[in-house]
Each structure stands twice: as structure tokens, then as C-alpha cells.
Amino acid sequence: MSVLITVGADIRKDALLIAVSFAGGFLIESWGTHTGLWSYYTGEKPPLWIIPAWPIATLAIERLERIFGTITDKIPEKWIKWLYWLIFPAFLIYMLVFVYPTIGMAFTIFAIIGVVLVIRFAGDHRYALTIFIAGAALGIFLEYWGTTRECWTYYTLQKPPFFAILAHGLASVAFWRVTKLVEPILNRIVQPIITLLRSRFTLPGIREE
């Protein structure tokens, strides 16, 4: 992951994705630890040391998407739509089965609603499918590493459960979608501030290139 996040790094582009995945990671970890779907060896709900891992993993997945994108770009659009509406609803059903023991808890209800909204309003199906595959691919490594070393343990005691692997893919799609929704709003807020600062601190007689 350390190598991946350095490939094609763009501070301005990555900063928002880092912020979104940091907040999203905290919500996901709070959901899982408070409902008992998984727990950490420290007993924290959630442990703060795991939260920064989400932005790092998200950046790595974004870089992997560029690799997987060279493959999915060759798939006809009609097949992309079929694959999207086959894979994502199947994930939702699988999620309902996995989280069934906590189905009545508020955290789980909000998580399910969030997944439904992400699937319904994903926008670019090709990119969503590609980032889902990239996230699941990295999820294999992350979950196997964490569960076999007992950093965290799922209620099923699987090392790891297949759902956890796929969940990394869905989380990546959610982070990407939120970033795309927030980006234009931030631009409207930040751009006038930048323009104002430039007008106030640019010395007279100096023309910007």
C-alpha cells in the first residue's frame, strides 16, 4: 500500500478522498464494533489507531482502480450494466444475511440504508464496478492479515468472512461517490476564498502567469 499511494499522487485530488474515507472509516468501525459484528483485541469501540488505515487503504484502492480500469474499459457498456445490477444487489442480499443478528440495531439500519443509496445513485456504473473490484482485491489481503493475526475478529470467527472482503469494495464505491458529491460544493466555497486571498496578497505590478 505504501508503494501504491505514491503512484500518481495528487495532493489536491487526494486530500478530499482522504477526508471522506477518514470520516467514513470511523462510521464503519463504529457500526461494526458497537453492534458486535467484529471486535478488536484492544476491546475499543472503535480503536482510534485503526481509523487512519482507511484513508491509506482508500488511496491504494484508487491506484489499483487505474490498473483494473484497463481491463473493464474493454467490456461493452451493456455488459457493464448487467454486471453492475447483478453484483451490487447480490452484495446487498449477502449483507442482509451477514448482519441479520444485528438487523434491529440503529447502526445496522443506517448502514443498510447507506448501501441502498450508494447502489441506487452510484452514477458511473463502469467506474463503480471497477473500484468495487479493486477494493475487494485489496480487501483479501487486509482481512486475511488482520484476522489471522487476531487484530480483529468477526462474530462468525471466519478468517476472514467473504462478506468482509466484498465490503471493502462497497466502502470504496461509497467514498468515491461522496467525494464526487462534495467536491463541487467545496469548490464553490473554496474558490472565492482563494480569489480573495490572491487579490489581497498579490503585490502591485506583478502579473500572475
What is the model's pLDDT at position 202? 59
Q: What percent of the chain has pLDDT over 90?
A: 72
Question: Is pLDDT larger for residue 5 or for residue 35?
Answer: 35
- From the centroid of its chain, how far is CA 84? 17
pLDDT in tens, 168-196: 999 999 999 999 988 888 777 766 766 66
The C-alpha cell at 50 is 485503526
pTM, to two decimals: 0.86
Torsion of CA 67, 160, 51, 168, to 10 degrees: 40
Mean pLDDT taken over the chain: 90
For 24, other C-beta atoms within 10 Å of its C-beta total 21
C-alpha–C-alpha distance, residues 32 and 49, integer Å: 15
pLDDT in tens, 131-176: 999 999 999 999 999 999 999 999 999 999 999 999 999 999 999 9
Higher pLDDT, 74 or 154: 154
Work out the pLDDT band at 110, boundaries 50, 70, 90. Answer: very high
Confidence band, pLDDT 50/70/90 cuts, at residue 83: very high
Which three cell numbers, joined as nine digits, stand for 52?
487512519
In 3D space, the residue among 125, 141, 171 whose CA is nearest the CA of residue 4 turns out to be: 141
Backbone angles phi, psi at 152, to 5 degrees: -140, 155
Residue 123's pLDDT band, with cuts at 50, 70 and 90, is: confident
2-26 confidence digits (pLDDT tens)? 788 888 778 878 899 999 999 999 9
Q: Is pLDDT at 31 greater than 90 in this prediction?
A: yes
Is the per-residue pLDDT at 71 higher than 90? no
Determine contact, residues 107/36, Cβ cutoff 8 Å.
Answer: no
| 7, 60, 86, 113, 156 from 67: Cα distances, Å | 11, 11, 23, 31, 33
- Tell which residue, 55, 59, 29, 27, has the closest CA to residue 131: 59
